Structure 1
Amino acid sequence: MTLELRGIVKRFSGFELRIDRIVFEDNRYYVILGPSGSGKTTTLRIIAGLEIPERGSVILDGRDITLEPPWRRNIGIVFQNYALYPHMTAYENIATPLRVKKIPEGVIRERVFEIARLLDIEDQLHKYPNQMSGGQQQRVAIARALVKEPRVLLLDEPLSNLDARLRIEVRGFLKELQRRIRTTIIHVTHDQEEALAIADEIVVMNRGLVVEVGSPEEIYRKPRSMFTFTFIGLSNILPVEILGVEGKSLAGFRPEDAEIAGEGDHDIEGVAETIEYLGSRKIATIRADNGSRIKISIEPERAVNIGKRIGIRIKRERVLLFNIENT
């Protein structure tokens, strides 16, 4: 399976989505990541056939499906609110796509129970949506999308309605599900940690454009743009001058790429302003003598007093340089 978006343009009032080219390969877990209004959900809806672009093509396995209705695309989608039919049991919700295709009832029953076993919801099949938890409703919605054996599964903000602990559990469930069904999943979210934890490839979007595409490690450690660097995770930015290069550049590094240093062994000195305890680590915000605020990661057991002067050493091999004109 290969899905390609080529030369896509879609305009709304005050907004334009413009995608030159993205290729989604078979048996991969993709996450489209971006802030609100970046165009990620519109991109998903164009793939599903719920929005038609003004220009460009959606190509599935070499076939142009741009103008095909959703029901002909063999693409499954799970909406953010799950969109289960409230008057139907879980079994009936899952069976609906097959009944629309007029598949024999015996085959439907076999397929529904097969997908229910895969998603561990056999004991929920007799229940109505209002009798299930949010996590159970989500699995029923995924089962309904998967029962028709789609070439691609689309997930629109699938974890946004779950509490923090359940989000972590469902992240692992979705990753394992993709490995078992061997179907390409395209998952939309604004949550950076979620994207890093679950994706094989991350598509970063901002203001209707694809900023860059890469593995989680590439996106976090070696981003090509200042937007990606500052949007994903905590970051520090300092203006620098590079010998032989006109104008100013920006140096970026992560809190874990700096450490408290002793006298005479530091790159920057400043005063500790705040300490955030995060369980496995602390984040200290240092007001540097040059006026910059720098966040560093320190061990949770290390004591740092507010107002204390601190020297910071930066791991120079981890520093990223950005052209100030391309920020």
Structure 2
Amino acid sequence: MGVIDLLPHPDLVLTLVALGFAAGVDLFWVVFLLAVAARVSWLAPAPGDLVEMGTVPILLFSAVLHTAERCAEALPSVALFWHSAQAVARPIAGALLAAAIVPGGVVQATGAAAAGAVLAATGHRVVWGLDLRRWLDGGRSPGPVLAGLAEDVVVAGLVVLVLERPEAGGVLVVLVLGALLLRGRFLLDLSRFGLHLVWGSVQRLTGRWGWRRQDELPAWVRDALERERRPGNRDRAPLRGLPVGVTGSPGHHGFRWGWLAGAPDRTFLVLRERGRARALPVLPGGAPGRSDLFDRLPARAGEAECELLVARDGPDVDALAAELASRGRVGA
């Protein structure tokens, strides 16, 4: 209801859309720019109560945190934990910024805060997904310094649009969100994989790692595996699995989120598309590789070459590769 009440003020709605998304992409840079705008005369003043942000403490605090973020992103393992914390912080900040824009009572502020939180969460998942994609690509993508500078330029331009031409900034973000709905699912999968890597590292430290039991598998994974059971073997061995990231997955050039699952005699890569799961038999690929937070396991799923990314709470990647090689084929 709060957002509906804002509809007579389309420029305010578009400002909220653009600023909420920008805060999710680069929160501390947005806060710094809004603080600068509140102190200088050559930019339009920030909307609503944001005009009160132009204090020296806010300027210094946002500048320090923005610098800390750029330093953290130079190290993938540090960036992973940083962005995991930001996945909580940025929706809260987006809600506060949106509520500060809106005039009126509690209902309007609550509706705006909810919209700002969703937009900031979406913006953060997009930028985190792009960072993880760059990390996984290695030398084929721009380095963290260049990527950070590009992000700063884009967000600065968006903030200027919010202040000077809010309708243009809002429409631009709406177009970006539309493109994400059509082609950007892999970015959301990547950010989910990032959270899983952090959780996997914690699990490894606590001694909880290895295959997931049958009762720990999602229902859609169990259902897909049951359809692949060999006749007469339905009760022979319990199912097991582990969540994996997948690059070069069948029919896709980006990143997918799936499960490597089955029984000890056969294993499948289980993927879900448009609400339907499919299980692809897995064959061994090349030699596995290791990094600080996950292992890479080349494999063949169905008719396509792919690479499975296994978090640190999964089984030993060398043992997993040897198991696939000894079976020749894997499944449930």
Q: Same fold by TM (over 0.5)?
A: no
More strand by share: 1
TM tier, shorter chain?
Answer: 0.3 to 0.5
More helix by share: 2
Q: TM-score, normalised by structure 2?
A: 0.35
Q: TM-score, normalised by structure 1?
A: 0.35
